[in-house]
Amino acid sequence: MTVLAGPGPRRTGAGESRIRRGSADDLEAMERFLAELSPESLYLRFLTGMSSGSLPGLAKHLLTPSALGGSLLAVRGDVVIGHAMWAPIPDTHSAAGVAATVEIAVVVADASQGHGVGSRLVDELAVCVARLGTQNVQAVISAENHVVRRMITSRVGDAHYVRDGLLLTITAGVGAIAVTQPAYGAA
Ligand SMILES: CC(C)(COP(=O)(O)OP(=O)(O)OC[C@H]1O[C@@H](n2cnc3c(N)ncnc32)[C@H](O)[C@@H]1OP(=O)(O)O)[C@@H](O)C(=O)NCCC(=O)NCCS
């Protein structure tokens, strides 16, 4: 798998933003971010119908998925405009406590989509995952999600695709990740 990081810090078309690690301190901003996502973005991210009532507790998990997982936020001032995370898949934990496979996911605020925020998050995510000592990265997406499929195919040359109905599971080895340019300093 070859993951090419982006060309250094970029500005979005909708004002300055930066990428940084997420933490439990970001709970309120993360809850606001989730509450403002459209039903379409919520569905594409979580692959199930969700309403605002589904959200309590979710923000905390997304910020701090586990001891081995982590999150990145795209922020503009105090406002979260994007989130990416990695989390070990429990069944694949090795005896050494390092997950063989981590799942990754990303979502960008509707008003900020199409301005490069998702690309920046994914590039930084690649840097974080490459440092984990894990073997594989996996993403489960809607097979109809052409935007994220395009983002993956432009970065990953030899991913393994498994289609199950409406879902597509994409797995790629971490060992071949090549981050060719400095990322954004969030890791
Ligand atoms: C997928 C998602 C994270 C992409 O973030 P984004 O900030 O909109 O993406 P970017 O602006 O960085 O664009 C990434 C690529 O998709 C293309 N793209 C973005 N929006 C597009 C659209 N509506 N139609 C077609 N192409 C689009 C861009 O041109 C770019 O292509 P390039 O890399 O060849 O230049 C965002 O659309 C989103 O949050 N979607 C809902 C949740 C989701 O689908 N998550 C993924 C599953 S976990």
Which helix (H) or strand (E) covers residue 148, if one does?
helix 146-153
pLDDT at 152: 86
- Which atom of ligand 1 has the smallest separation from the CA of 41? 41
pLDDT digit of tens for each residue in the chain (187 aa)?
333 333 344 444 446 899 999 999 999 999 999 999 999 999 999 998 877 667 678 999 999 998 779 999 999 999 999 999 999 887 655 656 667 889 999 999 999 999 999 999 998 998 898 888 888 999 999 999 999 998 888 888 788 999 999 999 999 988 655 555 556 667 6
- The residue count of the chain comes to 187
Q: Please count the structural domains in the chain.
A: 1
Residue 119 lies in a domain: yes
Q: How many CB atoms lie within 10 A of CB 111?
A: 11
Residue 1 is assigned to a structural domain of this protein: no
**Rounded Cα–Cα distance for residues 123 and 179 (Å):** 8
Ligand 1, atom 10: closest residue by C-alpha: 116
Whether 6 is in a domain gets the answer no
At 25 the pLDDT is: 96
Residue closest by Cα to atom 29 of ligand 1: 114
Residue 9: what pLDDT? 42
Q: Please report whether residue 186 resides in a domain.
A: no
The pTM of this model reads: 0.89
Ligand 1 atom nearest the C-alpha of 114 is: 11
- Compute, in angstroms, the gap from residue 96 CA to the centroid of ligand 1: 36
Query: What is the CATH number for 111?
Result: 3.40.630.30
Pocket test residue of 3, 17, 113, 154 for ligand 1, highest count of atoms within 8 A of CB: 113
Sequence-distant (6+) residues with CB within 8 A of 5 are: 123, 124, 126, 127, 179, 180, 181, 182, 183
Is 178 a member of any domain?
no
* The pLDDT of residue 53: 66
DSSP state of 99: B
User: pLDDT value at position 66?
Assistant: 81
Amino acid at 80: V
Q: Work out the burial of residue 107: count CB atoms within 10 Å of its CB; fewer than 13 is exposed, 13-18 middle, 19 or more buried.
A: buried
Q: Which atom of ligand 1 is nearest to the CA of 105?
A: 48
Nearest CA to ligand 1 atom 25: 147
Ligand 1 atom nearest to 145, measured from its CA? 44
User: Domain for residue 56, yes or no?
Assistant: yes
Asked whether residue 152 is domain-assigned, the answer is yes
CA atoms within 13 A on the CB side of 44: 16
Q: Between helices 117-130 and 146-153, what is the axis angle to 10°? A: 50
Which run of H or E residues covers position 105? strand 101-108
User: Quick one: pLDDT at residue 121?
Assistant: 94
Domain with 129 in it: 18-173
